[in-house]
A and B are shown apart, each in its own frame.
Chain A
């Protein structure tokens, strides 16, 4: 069965950089889109963007374009979400999730989710 395991919780100061990870196993990581979803404290789910690990095709939500960078290393079945300069407003739980598919690069619902990485940004 597919599984996504995320890196552990982080506490950072404003202006610091950060890269969190999401490692896939139990399926062909290369051929499924991986997405990132933000959930701010007590709030709903926000779709940040997705990446297709085979060719690194990346799609961002306009709300997050330029705010964070999504990447992937297919050789180690891992996707990443990184910030170059964190803000207090980046404090949130971040989930990675796999998009189901029924054809080459098709985009469907999120069928498997990571456990989440809590990012806290505070001075």
Chain B
């Protein structure tokens, strides 16, 4: 099974500042045949189901603000919120879909400082 590890567990960022979340997989999720990284990022606000933000490691889902960006390849990935807004307070999860069982990271809670 591919183990996905996120860091930090939580972070507090001032409004308008940058938030950076890291995600590491225990083996590469880059599929050589199509050069795609099989990694997604989700946002979960309290009392709501998760929402897809980023897929293929760096492609924003339709309707997701461009302050959210994903980067990385192979085993190391980053979700960046360029200018934190109040509505971005949530828990963020990465997930690999390279192989089953599909696995989630443990989550990173983002709060306002």
Could you list which residues of chain A lie within 8 angstroms of chain B, going by C-beta atoms?
A: 35, 37, 44-47, 49-50, 59-63, 95, 97, 99-100, 107-111, 113-116
A47 to B101, CA, bound (A): 7
The 8 A-B residue pairs whose C-beta atoms are closest, nearest first, are: A109-B40, A113-B49, A61-B101, A109-B55, A44-B107, A45-B104, A47-B102, A59-B100
- CB contact between A46 and one of B1, B44, B49, B104 (< 8 Å): that residue: B104
Q: Which residues of B contact A37 (CB under 8 A)?
A: 50
Q: Which residues of A contact B93 (CB under 8 A)?
A: 44-45
Could you list which residues of chain B lie within 8 angstroms of chain A, going by C-beta atoms?
A: 1, 38, 40, 42, 44, 49-52, 55, 61, 91, 93, 95, 97, 100-107
7 A-B residue pairings within 8 Å (CB atoms): A45-B107, A47-B102, A50-B100, A99-B97, A108-B97, A110-B42, A116-B49
Is the Cβ of B103 less than 8 Å from the Cβ of A44? no
Is the Cβ of A95 less than 8 Å from the Cβ of B50? yes
- Name the CB-closest residue of B to A96: B49
Q: Which residues of A contact B106 (CB under 8 A)?
A: 44
Known contacts A47-B104, A50-B100; A115/B49 CB under 8 A:
yes
Is the Cβ of A109 less than 8 Å from the Cβ of B101? no
Is the Cβ of A110 less than 8 Å from the Cβ of B1? no
Q: Which residues of B contact A47 (CB under 8 A)?
A: 95, 101-104
| Smallest CB separation, B11 vs chain A (Å) | 16
A113 to B42, CA, bound (A): 11
Which of A97, A109, A111, A116 neighbours the largest number of chain B CB atoms within 10 Å of its CB?
A109
- Name the CB-closest residue of B to A64: B101
- Name the CB-closest residue of B to A62: B101
| Smallest CB separation, A105 vs chain B (Å) | 12
Is the Cβ of A109 less than 8 Å from the Cβ of B95? yes
